[in-house]
Structure 1
């Protein structure tokens, strides 16, 4: 993600310093009173596409990773998107749902939560929520 942001920044800075006009600024005649310049429309579309890529409202709010520690224990890590609309209170529910799915998939009789933590990762300007925990798979009943 950092590479994409760096590349996008470099392209934008380079584009702003070029004397050539890649897109003519001819007005688009939509109506007599509204004729936006073509370069403004193109710039708006590019900025909108970049914002959509970063925000991506249809993407899941949480990224889930699981790692098998041994035959009985599984670590579950949840990482929330930096930019999201809602989903702040669903970490524990989502953690338990994934633990239940793992137990069902492995034929276990259930699971026991051995550890569970919620954190805020603020490595950049925008913080993100992290949740991690370890569950023990119980033998079948």
Structure 2
């Protein structure tokens, strides 16, 4: 039997994807909020790397542009003092923006967090890693289902 998705099913899949992206941003914000200062800097460096100047200025009232230019854009090194001035809500906004530009950059947080002994004990980090790995697996499975000309 050939199953063609209905409008409701397609809409449901889109909503699930959007909710997942929002949840990921909130989890990253929570991880950031409870991370030690050095880990906050590393997390910001990872998230800021794929962004251009215009994106840096547009996100969170330009706080990330100031940090990037102070740290020597494009060779990014976020100072601990700068990371302490960034709120979890700014990071949530940043993640939402980065997901639109490079989902792979956000997915790469899983490797970064898993490699950090400091973050290993964080329940929020463990949950975020699990969600990111699941999303990456789902995306790879979806890519395999596409014809080679569309990948």
Q: Fold conserved (TM > 0.5)?
A: no
More strand per residue? 1
Higher RCO, Cα 8 Å, sep 6+: 2
Task: Using structure 2 for the length normalisation, give the TM-score.
Answer: 0.24
More helix per residue? 2
Task: Using structure 1 for the length normalisation, give the TM-score.
Answer: 0.25
